[in-house]
Amino acid sequence: MGGEKGNLMRSIILLFALTIAVISLQLQGCGNDSDAQFTPTDTKGRIISAVDPFGRKTVSVGNDPDEFISYIDEGTGDPVIFIHGAPTYSYLWRNVIPHVSDTHRAIAIDLVGYGNSGSPTSATFRFPEHQQWFANFVNALALDNITLVVHDIGSIIGFDYAANNPGKIKSIVHLESVYFPLPNTDLLPPQAAFIMTDEGQQAIVDDNWFIETMMPGMIQRELGVAEKASYAAPWEDTARRRALQIVLLDLPIAGIPADNQATFEAFGMYLGTSNVPKLLLYADPGVLVQDVVAPGFPASVREIVSGFPNTTSIGLGSGLHFIQEDNPHGIGEAISDFLATLP
């Protein structure tokens, strides 16, 4: 990459790093315990159900017996694959899926190590492993003409797959996603810097940091008792929490790890040049995709991502990072409307 394109990519990378810093502000708040009878609604009065009504299937994605993916599989038609991030699982999409499954085959996976999927003791849970497991999943189900719906680190897996298998991708829906590597550690928020220390790594295991601290601070409403229990259940076994320890450590920063640096640059270039139909869903203020222009930069991350070729951008109103818990029906309706426009 050189010349004008190289300068643009460097600017994009730096701008993305600046937006990461707002995470520390969002992490300060934590919801209080909710009443067991609490029934949350979105801004239009629609119920946000805590109930997960879906059955699960499993498929092997490796040689180890614990290398398997648990997944929801609802409806028929072209596949729409929902990929969650940390520390969630397919439960995140429970209120979104019904908006899609009446016209498409809605598939929501649990990443290996997450949710109801296997947790092989031999795994490192680095992004390259997740990317291979996901590719094996798609091959095992012989999926084609795929729409990817990605969030958080699920975007790293989905974007990589799309960049390497463009012929299988019909469209991409992304919200609160990761698009670029980080140039250095200077702009990392204190919470992220803490988690990268030995003490922080231990907090993930001992204090279930992702569930108890990070997640509540990135949802505007309070989760109910049943919702909290559902998100916490996969992490009751502290040995499984090592799948979360690698999440921030494996982000490419200043070119390290080199394999992830190359991967992020490649899918960033793919997103910026591919004409595959894309739908950006964002919230205000959001966390990873904000409308904040850093000094000396030409545009915000939101504007840059909205400028990807063949992109439709839809604002979902007020929200932080886990928009699926504040406005799931808005997400589902937007995806359904977008899918209806595709040939």
- The residue count of the chain comes to 343
66 is catalytic: no
Contact 54, 72 (CB under 8 A): yes
Which residues face 41 on adjacent strands? 47
329 is catalytic: no
Which residues face 278 on adjacent strands? 172, 311
Which among 176, 325, 326, 333 is annotated as catalytic? 176
Cα 58 from chain centre: 21
102 is catalytic: no
H or E element: which one contains 246?
Answer: helix 242-249
Q: How far apart are CA 66 and CA 172, in angstroms?
A: 29
Contact 146, 168 (CB under 8 A): yes
Which residues face 315 on adjacent strands? 282
Which among 152, 227, 325, 326 is annotated as catalytic? 152
Which among 99, 151, 174, 321 is annotated as catalytic? 321
Burial 66-95 (b: 16+ CB within 10 A, else e): ebbbbbbbbbeebbbbbbbbbbbbbbbbbb
H or E element: which one contains 138?
Answer: helix 127-140
| Phi and psi at residue 220, to the nearest 5° | -75, -40
* Catalytic center residues: 152, 176, 321
